[in-house]
Amino acid sequence: MNPLNHVAIIMDGNGRWGIKYKNSRNSGHKEGLKTVEKIIKETIKNEIKYLTLYAFSTENWKRPKNEINYLFKLLENFLINKIDDLHKQNIRLKVIGFKNFSKKLNNLLKYSEKKTFHNKKLQVNLALNYGSKSELIHAFKNLFKNKKTLNEKNLNKYLQTKNIPDPDLLIRTGDTKRLSNFLLWQIAYTEIFFEKKLWPSFNENDYNKIIKKFRQIKRNFGNI
């Protein structure tokens, strides 16, 4: 049985779900947030220590203003309403990506990270305005600026995922088989599952089925 320490998820399919069931993409985002809560709970039940959720990519700025604003409003409200609860559950929240949002959201994110910093049960990494390519370029630049030798260990220290072990399992919902600029360096040996269901329809049962399959895989890491 493979140990499972870190699950990363590309939460895709909100917009299509919203159009299909409620005639608006934004209602899909709202519904998707319920899945986030379910999956956090189930991650704790499975005693997994890290959960990384791709919530907004560096390319998602191309979307219409109204959708972007809605997404950030949703996140703001989520933090305002739920951060105490997450804290009580001993969950640490960390943002990966560049925090260049409204002053209000930046402050809320910083506050949430600080408040939950010492929590130990589960670390939830929220990938927000995250893009793997810009993360890598930024890391290389800083590494050279500080005159460090370029090697794996040093590069890891300059990534936004510093101190976070690489994901063991990556799940992408929404019936699309691509990585969309997510953790390209970190998933070198990650097991990848593409799930047909749209994110708002994804549930604990689907999650546990994937985890069960993951546990049975023979992971070689180049060995035999």
* Amino acid symbol at 63: R
List alpha helices for the chain, DSSP H: 14-22, 25-45, 65-88, 103-115, 132-145, 152-158, 204-216
Choosing from 2, 46, 60, 119, the catalytic residue is: 60
List alpha helices for 146-195, DSSP H: 152-158
Which listed residue (54, 101, 158, 202) binds ligand IPE by CB under 6 A?
54
Whole-number Cα distances in Å, 205 to 12, 143, 192, 201: 18, 43, 18, 11
60 in catalytic set: yes
**86 near 116, Cβ under 8 Å?**
yes
129 in catalytic set: no
Nearest to 37 by CA among 73, 91, 108, 103: 91
User: Closest approach of Cβ 194 to ligand IPE, in Å?
Assistant: 13
User: Closest approach of Cβ 60 to Mg ion, in Å?
Assistant: 9
Question: Which residue lies nearer to Mg ion by CB, 56 or 207?
Answer: 56
Nearest to 133 by CA among 178, 166, 179: 179
Binding region for ligand IPE (CB under 6 A) out of 12-20, 43-51, 86-94, 155-163: 12-20
Residues 74-93 that bind ligand IPE (CB under 6 A): none
Residue 43 as a binder of ligand IPE (CB under 6 A): the answer is no
User: In this structure, what token pair is assigned to residue 178?
Assistant: 């691509």
Which listed residue (9, 10, 12, 160) binds Mg ion by CB under 5 A?
12
Distance CA 1, CA 6 (A): 15
User: In this structure, what token pair is assigned to residue 165?
Assistant: 């072990």
Residue 134 as a binder of ligand IPE (CB under 6 A): the answer is no
Residue 10 as a binder of ligand IPE (CB under 6 A): the answer is yes
Size of the site for Mg ion (CB under 5 A): 1
User: Closest approach of Cβ 48 to ligand IPE, in Å?
Assistant: 20
Residue 206 as a binder of Mg ion (CB under 5 A): the answer is no
User: Closest approach of Cβ 95 to Mg ion, in Å?
Assistant: 21
Nearest to 36 by CA among 127, 101, 106, 114: 127
Residue 168 as a binder of Mg ion (CB under 5 A): the answer is no
Binding site for ligand IPE (CB under 6 A): 10-16, 54-57, 60, 71, 174, 176, 178, 180
The residues annotated as belonging to the active site are 12, 60
Binding site for Mg ion (CB under 5 A): 12
